[in-house]
Structure 1
Amino acid sequence: MESLPIRKARNLIRRTKIIWIATAAAIILVAAICVNSSQYASPPPKSPSMAPPAQHSKVFDGHEDCDIFSGDWIPNPEAPYYTNKTCWAIHDHQNCMKYGRPDSDFMRWRWKPNACNLPLFNPYQFLHIVRGKSLAFVGDSVGRNQMQSIICLLSRVEYPIDMSPPTTDKHWKYVNYNFTMSYFWSPFLVRSGVRDDVGPTNTGLFNLYLEEFDESWTNQIHGFDYLIINAGHWFNRNTVYYENRRVVGCRYCLLPNITDLPATYAYRRAFRTAFRALENFDGVTLVRTFAPAHFEGGEWNAGGDCVRRRPVGSNDTVLDGQTLDMYTAQLEEFRAAMGRGKRGMRAMDVTKMMLLRPDGHPSRYGHWAEEKVVLYNDCVHWCLPGPIDSGADILLHMLKMEARRG
């Protein structure tokens, strides 16, 4: 038989082993819980300035009299605030880093107005303002480009639920804020249809009914709180123009006995019709001005490319050519609509701001270099992350001003 001291020693060793095993199991369990939770946690704010607003904090910054659309781009070493690996909303053709763009400085600039400081986009503040509201983008793929930028910037706080129907339209729901963001595809803003799948340049020939609403969006927007509309480069496509159900001209249609007219002819009338469709819209409409392209060395289908790697200074370039013509026509129709008493409509006048960013386009980095695809160099859309992210700074400022007016 074991002596009493020996039995006591054995019992002490047994109890110690049990404690060690229990402690190790607890550590493993806690670690597993932490790892599992981190998979679903939203990424933390990049800096203290991105903290959620206090319950009674102001949602505006007092710069309503500042011309936020006149300025220059300045370095922003803190950017970008998301990557192509952290945001799933980036369209492949704008996913420049995925497809091997070798430089990254184009992501590290911010817009600085001349007369004031424009705060960087704060996702918490944005969602605080739009809580319980709805916002819709209407227009072409540049508008979709901006919507995807906002989804990526908001991903630091919350990821939306896709509630879209099986169409080109998109509907995203931010459940914790009861906020809906939608997108309606309407590149001409007016009723259109395909006349010929091929057309003179293998990009199709379209019919544009310049005085008729595109009901795919005009019948859907009532009830939205905010609307952002844009249109632009589709008006350079091969199109036949109709007014009062008869042909009045075309753009590059090469059809007999039809007069070729400039793109501004249709562009002006399309916005006139769109503004007429908005006469009974009770929400706030933000009209995003023409997005400049930056093709150099040829047109989009003739070897043109955008290879610059830095922004241009505001004193080093001017609006000219078709960009100036389209921009002028759009603003003239905007002012005419305001003169007819249209309320709740603001100009998101970003044309000159984006003219200074020839470095921010995908160029050939919208697909793999060795991939055999029929895609031209893209000098119209914007890389994500990229310059269009500063459009969110502009949007948040404009929403703050609306909150103050309300």
Structure 2
Amino acid sequence: MKSYSTDLNANNSPHTHSNPRKVFLIALILILLTIIHLCIHSSNPPLPFKKIRISSTVYRNIEFEKKCDIFTGKWVPNPKGPYYTNTSCNLIIDQQNCMKFGRPDTEFMKWRWKPDECELPIFNPLQFLELVRGKSMAFVGDSVGRNQMQSLLCLLASVTYPEDISYKYTSNTDYFKRWFYADYEFTIAALWSPFLVEASDADTNGHSLNSLMNLYLDKADEAWVREVESFDYVIISAGHWFFRPLIYYEKNQVIGCHNCNIQNMTALPKYYGYRMAFRTAFRTLRRLKKYKGITFLRTFSPSHFENGDWNKGGNCVRTRPFTSQEMKLDGYIMEFYLTQVEELKAAEKQGKRKGLKFGLLDTTEIMLLRPDGHPSNYGHSLHQNMTLTDCVHWCLPGPIDTWNEFLLDTMLKNEKDDVN
């Protein structure tokens, strides 16, 4: 550096004194241009750099929401066990109280649903109760729908217990239930209607577990229609009753039957009656003048009878879930599932004209994998002090609690969509 400096200073040409000034000015101009450039670009960055301003958390959330299908996944071990027990929740009826009646294994309670692309949030009872403050929710359908309601009651029991106000509305308090959470002014109801449409006994010997019945496919059952108009949320479901012998009516005329063994009567598949029942139920909700609620379809819940039918010695004694490789959604279960989902999609499209929302609780495939979750021989009849083999309903606690995790997650997403 010393020799270079000496050589430079020793230069005695005419430009000796002007060069340093030029260098200084050029350097100053470059510095100023750089500062100006940085100022301009920091205050108004070009479009490609705006993405950098999104935090990684927000970005992950955006991607998370796009990918998250909570209904596609697998059951994974959950050593923590269930949210509640049959001793911590005294609202479990004997029909689903498997532990009370001696079920020896507990592993069926130690599994949790894991979506493929995201996490299913745990059920937060306080969050649920705040969400439904001042509102009402009805489970419309058969006893499996009531099973879901009982699960929800137990999930909320860690925060508060409701008052049973069923007697104020009906004398049939086994099938039509109402619970009121005073602290949150929230009502839960079970409106029992196994066919969703009007039905009556057709067997001259009276009603039995497999007796012939009339089904009026174009008339919604008044048992729920006259009650449902004021509810904010309606979870609608039906299934297993459609397997029994049925005579189908439309416009008060017989159009055929399913499994009725009546000569000269047109045979129609059970899927026809199933489709028309949901079509009528959804149409009725759309046409109710004061109904402004959100309707959720909870899809068909598979049974798991093995070694015989329900009335021929069948049982369900497995103690672990199936994997998706062991059990596929097909056959009559797939037909029932597709039938009701198709009707839901049509109702959703038509409901938009009135501003009504229709949503999906897609429980069929996930429950197909849970043959271990039924009471089997560890439940009691609803009306008699006797054990029965039940591979239709679900133990409490058990995999049915996942339905209400789905319910809360779906309700929260609806609230978010309304805000946005």
Are residue 285 (structure 1) and residue 292 (structure 2) matched? no
Tell me the CA shift for residue 188 of structure 1: 0.2
Could you say which residue in structure 2 is the equivalent of 1:101? 103
SS in 1 for 2:151: helix
**Structure 1: distance between partners of 2:337 and 2:363:** 10
Question: 2:201, 2:207 within 8 Å by CA — same for their partners in 1?
Answer: no
Report the more deviating stretch, 198-207 or 179-188.
198-207
- Unaligned segments of structure 1, at least 5 residues: 1-60
SS in 1 for 2:75: strand
Could you say which residue in structure 1 is the equivalent of 2:266? 259
Q: Call closer, same or farther: CA 1:89–1:372 in 2, change over 3 Å.
A: closer
Tell me the CA shift for residue 173 of structure 1: 0.4
Are residue 138 (structure 1) and residue 140 (structure 2) matched? yes
**Structure 2: distance between partners of 1:67 and 1:197:** 49
* Corresponding letter in the other structure for 2:245: N
Could you say which residue in structure 2 is the equivalent of 1:191? 198
Report the more deviating stretch, 80-89 or 129-138.
80-89
Could you say which residue in structure 2 is the equivalent of 1:6? none
Question: 2:203, 2:213 within 8 Å by CA — same for their partners in 1?
Answer: yes
**Structure 2: distance between partners of 1:201 and 1:261:** 22
Q: Call closer, same or farther: CA 1:256–1:345 in 2, change over 3 Å.
A: same
Correspondence for 2:361 among 339, 348, 361: 348
Are residue 361 (structure 1) and residue 371 (structure 2) matched? no
* 1:59-74 paired onto structure 2 within 5 Å: 64-65=65-66, 66-74=68-76
CA distances 1:10-50 after superposition (whole Å, capped 9, x unpaired): xxxxxxxxxxxxxxxxxxxxxxxxxxxxxxxxxxxxxxxxx
In percent, how many aligned pairs have the same letter? Answer: 54
Q: Call closer, same or farther: CA 1:197–1:131 in 2, change over 3 Å.
A: farther
Tell me the CA shift for residue 213 of structure 1: 1.5
**Structure 1: distance between partners of 2:71 and 2:163:** 33
The answer to which structure has the higher helix fraction is: 2
* 1:268-307 paired onto structure 2 within 5 Å: 268-279=275-286, 280=288, 281-307=291-317
Q: Call closer, same or farther: CA 1:201–1:171 in 2, change over 3 Å.
A: closer
Could you say which residue in structure 2 is the equivalent of 1:335? 345
SS in 2 for 1:219: helix
* Corresponding letter in the other structure for 1:381: H
SS in 2 for 1:264: helix
* Corresponding letter in the other structure for 1:85: T
Tell me the CA shift for residue 363 of structure 1: 0.7
CA distances 1:356-377 after superposition (whole Å, capped 9, x unpaired): 1111001111139xx984x652
* 1:306-317 paired onto structure 2 within 5 Å: 306-317=316-327
CA distances 1:271-294 after superposition (whole Å, capped 9, x unpaired): 000010111431111100011111
- Unaligned segments of structure 2, at least 5 residues: 1-60
Tell me the CA shift for residue 202 of structure 1: 5.5
For the pair shown, which has the larger CA radius of gyration, 1 or 2? Answer: 2
CA distances 1:124-173 after superposition (whole Å, capped 9, x unpaired): 11111111111110000000000000101111000000111322311100
SS in 1 for 2:137: strand
* 1:3-402 paired onto structure 2 within 5 Å: 64-65=65-66, 66-165=68-167, 166-167=171-172, 168-196=175-203, 198=205, 203-279=210-286, 280=288, 281-342=291-352, 343-367=356-380, 373=386, 376-402=388-414
Tell me the CA shift for residue 255 of structure 1: 2.5
CA distances 1:293-334 after superposition (whole Å, capped 9, x unpaired): 111122211222112111112233211221111111111111
Q: Call closer, same or farther: CA 1:198–1:398 in 2, change over 3 Å.
A: farther
Could you say which residue in structure 2 is the equivalent of 1:42? none
SS in 2 for 1:336: helix
Query: How many residues are aligned here?
Result: 343
Relative to the length of structure 2, the TM-score reads 0.78
**Structure 2: distance between partners of 1:150 and 1:139:** 16
Q: Call closer, same or farther: CA 1:130–1:303 in 2, change over 3 Å.
A: same
